[in-house]
Amino acid sequence: MDTTVTARRTLPVWAVSVLALLVAAVVTEIYGLLLPVVGIPMIVGNAFDTAPSAITVGMFAMGCAVSGFWGTILAILIARFARRPAGTYVVTTSVLVAVSLIAPMAGVGPLSTRIALAVAHLIAAAIVIPAVARRLS
């Protein structure tokens, strides 16, 4: 058996989740730093704001950290209680990612920024969900 596969199966679920989260935080932060380079303004606000505010360095990584914290707890609970943890995790987190796309799209600010933020959610999910699901299988 491949040593990476063996290591992934012996790592605790929380460790795989945190490692995937760290990768997602770095990737989405780099993505966020590149957006102004291609002309996407980094200002946005939630639906209750009267004016958008600046998205600063570190906010993409912080978003990953906050959602990743809860996602890690969810993964641990699913690993402990679900009959088919990998499938349960994928379905649950996919629904949560879909719900998370509402926030940037319902916000205020340039549409290009709101779409870019939604894409950041999808990038992070594409990194974390498969990694954790492989560990849960």
What residue spans define the domains of the chain? 3-136
Q: Averaged over 75-100, what is the pLDDT?
A: 94
Q: Contact 72/61 with Cβ under 8 angstroms?
A: no
- Residues sharing a CB contact under 8 Å with residue 131, sequence separation 6 or more, in sequence order: 16, 17, 19, 20, 23
Q: pTM, whole model, 2 decimals?
A: 0.84
The whole-number pLDDT of residue 38 equals: 95
Average per-residue pLDDT in the chain? Answer: 89
- Residues sharing a CB contact under 8 Å with residue 86, sequence separation 6 or more, in sequence order: 133, 134, 136, 137
Assign 126 a pLDDT band (cuts: 50, 70, 90): very high
The tokens describing 49, both together, are: 């704001």
- Residues sharing a CB contact under 8 Å with residue 71, sequence separation 6 or more, in sequence order: 17, 21, 93, 96, 128, 132
